[in-house]
């Protein structure tokens, strides 16, 4: 399958997926990196690896960016099958969600539906988890709908919250699992191993 990854930050999830694709663990190829932050680590990594970088959206600080129509055309021309949000900090336009039904995934650093939604990003998530007294946290891979963090959950991993945790330590422990669970979920998509239960819940079939 042909993958486009959306990134605003360091891009460690993007890198692990790209490596998995190069190494054959994911039966796919990263054909574009979309970013609102042309100087971010993810964009840098894409340029170093010959992956086309698309700047989106066009804004005052990024006048060289592309419009939504241009983005949709570019993704269509690249024959993108799957869009992966990996630390992309902007809400995805409805038109994009509708153009890629059941074909956009996001990773979030908590066990959704807990600690998700607009205010929950970065270390704020982990701070809130620790303050709540929850004993487990962990990443969620979910399909993307029109709102933040509300699409159907595809995969999760449990990570213990320790008695002396700091948001930074918990974030690092969760991030490590993010890399595994996202690669596994993308591998499943690329092998057509995602089945939709009658009630609309996506399930990953194991390899036969
Ligand atoms: C991750 O914590 C992810 O869950 C969240 O943004 C962060 C991205 O990290 N959506 P990276 O840029 O992949 O290192």
| Atom number of ligand 1 nearest to Cα 106 | 10
Q: Are residues 8 and 87 in the same domain?
A: yes
Give the pair of three-digit tokens for residue 171.
Answer: 């974030």
Q: Are residues 85 and 112 in the same domain?
A: no
Q: Are residues 130 and 183 in the same domain?
A: yes
The confidence score (pLDDT) of residue 150 equals 85
Domain-embedded: residue 76: yes
Confidence of residue 147 (pLDDT cuts 50, 70, 90): confident
Distance 136 CA to ligand 1 centre (A): 19
Q: Are residues 120 and 172 in the same domain?
A: yes
Distance 202 CA to ligand 1 centre (A): 22
The confidence score (pLDDT) of residue 61 equals 82
Q: Are residues 75 and 136 in the same domain?
A: no
Q: Are residues 67 and 83 in the same domain?
A: yes
Domain-embedded: residue 148: no
Domain-embedded: residue 147: no
- The yes-or-no verdict on residue 142 having pLDDT over 80 is yes
Largest Cα–Cα separation, the chain: 51
Confidence of residue 69 (pLDDT cuts 50, 70, 90): very high
φ/ψ of residue 78, rounded to 5: -80, 0
Q: Are residues 118 and 53 in the same domain?
A: no
- The yes-or-no verdict on residue 158 having pLDDT over 90 is yes
Give the pair of three-digit tokens for residue 190.
Answer: 């690329």
Question: Could you tell me if the CB of 86 is within 6 A of ligand 1?
Answer: yes
Mean residue pLDDT across the chain? 96
The pLDDT tens digits of the residues spanning 85-97 come to: 999 999 899 999 9
Q: Are residues 30 and 73 in the same domain?
A: yes
Give the pair of three-digit tokens for residue 67.
Answer: 């419009």
- The yes-or-no verdict on residue 149 having pLDDT over 80 is no
Q: Would you say the C-alpha torsion 81, 154, 86, 71 has a positive or negative sign?
A: positive
pTM (two decimals): 0.97
Give CA–CA dist 142/154, Å, rounded. 5
- The yes-or-no verdict on residue 148 having pLDDT over 80 is no
- The yes-or-no verdict on residue 75 having pLDDT over 90 is yes
Q: Are residues 13 and 66 in the same domain?
A: yes
The confidence score (pLDDT) of residue 146 equals 84
The confidence score (pLDDT) of residue 70 equals 98
The confidence score (pLDDT) of residue 208 equals 81
How far, CA to CA in Å, does 205 sit from each of 29, 92, 100, 154, 180?
22, 28, 22, 11, 17
Question: Could you tell me if the CB of 138 is within 6 A of ligand 1?
Answer: no
Q: For residue 26, give its domain range.
A: 1-100
Tell me what ipTM this predicted complex has: 0.98
Distance 9 CA to ligand 1 centre (A): 7
Q: Are residues 60 and 12 in the same domain?
A: yes
Give CA–CA dist 147/208, Å, rounded. 35
Q: Which amino acids are annotated catalytic?
A: 108
- The yes-or-no verdict on residue 3 having pLDDT over 90 is yes
| Atom number of ligand 1 nearest to Cα 171 | 2
Q: Are residues 118 and 193 in the same domain?
A: yes
φ/ψ of residue 173, rounded to 5: -65, -40
The confidence score (pLDDT) of residue 128 equals 98
The pLDDT tens digits of the residues spanning 161-185 come to: 999 999 999 999 999 999 999 999 9
Q: How many domains does the chain have?
A: 2
| Atom number of ligand 1 nearest to Cα 14 | 13
Domain-embedded: residue 150: no
CATH number at residue 24: 3.40.50.170
The pLDDT tens digits of the residues spanning 15-59 come to: 999 999 999 999 999 999 999 999 999 999 999 999 999 999 998
The 3-state secondary structure of 75-99, one letter per residue: HHHCCCCEEEECCCCCCCCHHHHHH
Confidence of residue 104 (pLDDT cuts 50, 70, 90): very high
Q: Alpha helix (H) ranges present in the chain?
A: 12-22, 41-48, 68-77, 94-99, 123-132, 167-190
Q: Are residues 124 and 161 in the same domain?
A: yes
């Amino acid at each position: 399958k042909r993958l486009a990854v959306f990134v605003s930050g360091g891009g460690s999830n993007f890198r692990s997926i790209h490596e998995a694709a190069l190494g054959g663990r994911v039966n796919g190829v990263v054909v574009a990196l979309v970013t609102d932050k042309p100087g971010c680590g993810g964009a840098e990594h894409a340029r170093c690896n010959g992956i086309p970088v698309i700047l989106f959206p066009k804004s005052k600080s990024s006048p060289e960016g592309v419009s939504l129509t241009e983005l949709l055309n570019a993704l269509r021309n690249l024959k993108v099958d799957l869009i992966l949000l990996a630390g992309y900090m902007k809400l995805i336009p409805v038109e994009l969600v509708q153009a890629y039904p059941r074909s956009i995934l996001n990773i979030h650093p908590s066990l959704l539906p807990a600690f998700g939604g607009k205010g929950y990003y970065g270390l704020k998530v982990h701070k809130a988890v620790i303050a709540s007294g929850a004993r487990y946290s962990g990443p969620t891979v979910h399909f993307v709908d029109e709102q933040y963090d509300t699409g159907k959950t595809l995969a999760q991993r449990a990570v213990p919250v320790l008695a002396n945790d700091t948001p930074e330590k918990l974030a690092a422990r969760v991030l490590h699992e993010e890399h595994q669970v996202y690669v596994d979920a993308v591998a499943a998509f690329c092998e057509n191993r995602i089945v939709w239960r009658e009630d609309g819940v996506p399930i990953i079939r194991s390899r036969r």
